[in-house]
Structure 1
Amino acid sequence: MLSENRYKNIVKISAWYDLLVILPFTTPWTLDILYSILKHQHDYWQFSGELHSLNAAHYLFANLLGAVVLVWSLLRILQPGVLPGRLDAVARYVFCLWQIYAWQHGFSTLILFFTFFELSFGIAQSLPVRREASQREAGLRSVHA
């Protein structure tokens, strides 16, 4: 069982990871750079599956996703807590599901690198959290009031 402070640190670390990973998705120009790097790695390591060329719809959805995750990351960095951590864990499990679905339908095996981190942070943010003594006392005071 994790202390609440330890749990908040996990939430912050996962948010910083998201922030760094998602930044290139937030503009068409940075997505071009990221995608060329991913394509190079895909080809260099000879991963199975494909990385297709991007079209306007891909840019739109990647940039929208990037903007939403960017804001969500900033919220978790500035105000980490159990509820944001739990909600983020759910989002990570959903991301894992769709990443595995894409991989099974021919997307590059490179996606599994990201799936590993999504699953790892999802599990970490699903662990039980021990309530601090001050929280228990506050809860008792509100019950007796």
Structure 2
Amino acid sequence: MKIASYLRVVRASAWYDLVVTAGFATPWTYTLVHDTLSSLGRDWGLGVLPELDPIQTLYANLMGSVVVVWAVLRLVRPLALHGLFDGVARVLFTAWQGYALAQGAPRFLWLFLGVEALFGVLQLAPWCRPGTELREPLVP
């Protein structure tokens, strides 16, 4: 994979993250996201989120804030190395989402798990090939 193509994948994953997680970044927007996901899950028969509490909101806000900042970095200064680290993070997110699903989390989480896994594969696979063109200096 050429570096320009790879960086398009890095940017696409960043846009996805920004759109999907921006609503988690504040307590007010998370309340809207929580209610919307629960409503859709109820309507589609996929389960609902537990009632809001301060700790759940705190963790959602922490995750949302960090992911939004990470997404903006990948949009403003995309590097192949960012794709490698993002791919690793997506493996972790996919594992934790799978764990949550195994523990009875609402089934709409499968939609997010699928996208996480896809972007993880797209960003890690090129690094697994010998002689990849993605190697770049650690300091730009």
TM-score (ref. length: structure 2): 0.89
Q: Which has the higher contact order (CA 8 A, sep 6+)?
A: 1
Q: Over alpha carbons, which structure has the higher Rg?
A: 1
Q: Where does residue 108 of structure 1 map in the other structure?
A: 106
TM-score (ref. length: structure 1): 0.86
Q: Does 1:42 align with 2:41?
A: yes
Q: Structure 1, residues 54-79: CA drift from partner, whole Å, max 9, x if none?
A: 10001111101111111100110011
Q: Where does residue 75 of structure 2 map in the other structure?
A: 77
Q: Where does residue 10 of structure 1 map in the other structure?
A: 9
Runs of 5+ unmatched residues, structure 1: 137-145
**Runs of 4 or more consecutive aligned structure 1 residues displaced over 4 Å after TM superposition:** none
Q: Distance in 2 between matches of 1:7 and 1:127?
A: 11
Identity in percent: 37
Q: Structure 1, residues 67-109: CA drift from partner, whole Å, max 9, x if none?
A: 1111100110011121100000000010000001001101101
Alignment of 1:14-33 (within 5 A): 14-33=13-32
2:52 alignment partner, SS class = coil
Q: Give yes or no for contact 2:39–2:48 (8 Å, CA) kept in 1.
A: no
Give aligned pairs, total. 132
Q: Give yes or no for contact 1:51–1:108 (8 Å, CA) kept in 2.
A: yes
**Aligned-CA RMSD value:** 1.7
2:50 alignment partner, SS class = coil
Q: Distance in 2 between matches of 1:50 and 1:101?
A: 17
1:54 alignment partner, SS class = coil
Partner amino acid, structure 1, of 2:86? D
Q: Where does residue 86 of structure 1 map in the other structure?
A: 84
1:128 alignment partner, SS class = helix
Q: Structure 1, residues 98-127: CA drift from partner, whole Å, max 9, x if none?
A: 001001101101111000000000000012
